[in-house]
Structure 1
Amino acid sequence: MIISMTPNKIIVQVNSRTATIQGEALVPGTGVSDYVVYADTLVFWDAPYQSEKISPAQKSAIIDGVKADLAMRNTRFEIEGLT
């Protein structure tokens, strides 16, 4: 699921498509979380599918996959922007 993680974004792969979710790395050990994932930034697929909107079901599955991947990495995280 997660193929790349930087201090300000996570790139995920779903089948042959990728999507970018904005995030924010926090200073480890200073709070409850080490990383904040901004779920409301997950709207469109990355190029070459950038004109295709991610459906609510796809978004939910992607966020669930990100949660599982971050938990496996022992990354303390929070998800913001879920509706």
Structure 2
Amino acid sequence: MKFGIYSSIANPPRGEDLSRCVDEVIEEAQLAEQAGFDSCFFGEHHQDKDGFLPSPLIVCTAVAASTTKLRVGTSVILLP
């Protein structure tokens, strides 16, 4: 059996910017890998006030570059 996590990059009104949230997600993915999780997935959201992720492929790339064996993917990609 394999286990993964889903990370929704939400930035509730706590005064932090999106880059801080991305840094936290990268750290979360690294910790998940160390804990034995197999994968990490991200969704795509546009024009939300709480800063949900508009471009998951960029974050997937950053997470993949920061981990060694964690499988990274998207749960939703919107087509034009």
Q: TM-score, normalised by structure 2?
A: 0.45
- State the structure with bigger RCO (CA 8 A, min sep 6), 1 or 2: 2
Q: Which has the higher helix share?
A: 2
Q: Which has the higher strand share?
A: 1
